[in-house]
A and B are shown apart, each in its own frame.
Chain A
Amino acid sequence: MAQFSLPQNSKIEVGKYHKDKTNSKNIRKINVYRWDPSTGKNPRVDTFEVDMDNCGPKVLDILFKIKNEIDPSLTFRRSCAHGVCGSCAMNIDGINGLACIKSHSDISGDLNIYPLPHLKVVKDLIGDLTTLYKQYESIQPWLKVDQTGQEKTELKQTQKEREKLDGYYECILCACCSTSCPSYWWNGDKYLGPAVLLQAYRWINDSRDGDKKERLKKVADELKLYRCHTIMNCTNSCPKGLNPAKAIGSIKKMLATS
């Protein structure tokens, strides 16, 4: 049975309130999840008053503003700031997304920022994705061909075959989908989750790959695959507009018809 409430050491407490010091007239309250491993205390939610007149358009700009001007100890991952690397995936206003491409003007009221759901927190907004990466490794995300040493030839792909990968190869593995999935929350150790299954489908569907049957067999498992109940939180949260639910549905269909 899944545990629906948070464990005792994860209960969220009321944190500090950082009042605005710039005397700005355009102030917005930003609630940010904080946890510092060095203090041994429970996580808390800090509230920051941010001057929105001098702030960039994206949620990541707010986080930078807080880190640069209010509290330098705020910790979060980011790299490209253009929605390509997937580092700044977090829970923004109740839905997972990339802070760098989410406009804060799209959200009304106070802004709530949490780490990706149901992960072990490393610090503040950083969750531990080790399990997900291990699962990703388990589907062997590389091209497998029967060719041996000398007879290696170019693997050609027609345009049509290539088009089959559209909507799947764009995945940046930001983990927004997997951590939005209630099934993955309760069975994350066994169920592969939308991100990894979408990747699995991407390799199953690659015309150049020679291991399709073996890949299908490996993923056809009560827990690995069929914990997907088409809740569709994954597709709703994907910042790249991909459809993991459809990918999983396609794998199920392939298994049912092969």
Chain B
Amino acid sequence: MKNNNPLSPHLQIYKWQISSLLSITHRIVGVINFFAIILICFWIMLITFGQSNYSIINVFLNTTFGKFLVISLCWTFSFHILNELRHLTWDAGYGFDLKVAKITGIIALIGSFVLTILFYILGRNLF
């Protein structure tokens, strides 16, 4: 095939499915979690260096942006865990049926928000 033939449109025209949307979200969220875990490790390391370090981060996390960051990370972790459970069942050979995959996908999505709220309530000692 000559190289000057055009490439037919792909991402530009293909309709998003629930499955494909969750798949790309899973990947993006995975990258975010990777960096988040590094940050959390640094944070814990800083605590070992003394109390003053702890209070600096405490102030930061109590700003609006800090709160947003923490709640967002609660969601990214929740979503990644639940969607990873789907991947585990797929690896075991189950859940490939189109309807089942759709339902588990929606459950993972809704579940991730429920888990986030639960984390928030637990963290705030609201129980």
Taking Cβ atoms with an 8 Å cutoff, the residues of A that contact B are 4, 6-7, 9-10, 12, 33, 35, 37, 42-43, 91, 93-95, 112, 114-122, 127-128, 130, 180, 182, 185, 229-233, 235-236, 243, 245-246, 249-250, 252-253, 256
Contacts and interface: CB of A to CB of B under 8 A. Distances in A.
A194 to B, nearest CB: 12
Contacts of B33: none
A130 B5 CA distance: 14
A83 B4 CA distance: 32
Interface stretch (B11-19, B48-56, B60-68, B118-126): B11-19
Contacts of B40: none
B14 A249 contact: no
Interface in B25-46: 27
B91 A252 contact: yes
A182 B8 contact: no
B81 interface: no
A128 B5 contact: yes
B13 A114 contact: yes
B53 to A, nearest CB: 38
10 contacts: A9-B6, A33-B9, A117-B8, A117-B13, A121-B5, A180-B14, A232-B17, A232-B20, A243-B96, A256-B91
Contacts of A115: 8
Given A128-B1, A230-B90, A236 B7 contact: no
Given A91-B13, A130-B1, A245-B96, A231 B6 contact: no
A130 B2 CA distance: 12
Interface residues of B, number: 27
A118 B23 CA distance: 20
Say what secondary structure dominates the interface of chain A. mixed
Interface in B72-106: 87, 90-93, 96-98, 101
Contact of B19 (A91, A128, A231, A252): A231
Given A121-B5, A130-B1, A185 B90 contact: no
Interface of B: 1, 4-15, 17, 19-20, 23, 27, 87, 90-93, 96-98, 101
Task: Sort A-B residue pairs by CB-CB distance and give the 5 closest, nearest first.
Answer: A94-B15, A246-B96, A10-B6, A232-B19, A117-B10
B34 to A, nearest CB: 17
Given A120-B5, A130-B1, 14 more contacts: A7-B6, A10-B6, A10-B7, A10-B8, A33-B9, A91-B14, A94-B14, A94-B15, A128-B1, A128-B5, A231-B19, A231-B20, A233-B19, A243-B96
Contact of B9 (A117, A122, A245): A117
B79 to A, nearest CB: 16
B8 A118 contact: yes
A230 B12 CA distance: 21
Contacts of B9: 6, 10, 12, 33, 114, 117
A127 B8 CA distance: 8
A236 B105 CA distance: 14
A114 B11 CA distance: 12
Nearest to B94: A249
Contacts of B15: 93-95
A121 B6 contact: yes
A46 B4 CA distance: 21
Nearest to B101: A232
B13 A235 contact: no
Given A112-B13, A252-B91, A35 B19 contact: no
Contact of A119 (B7, B20, B87): B7
Contact of B8 (A9, A93, A114): A114
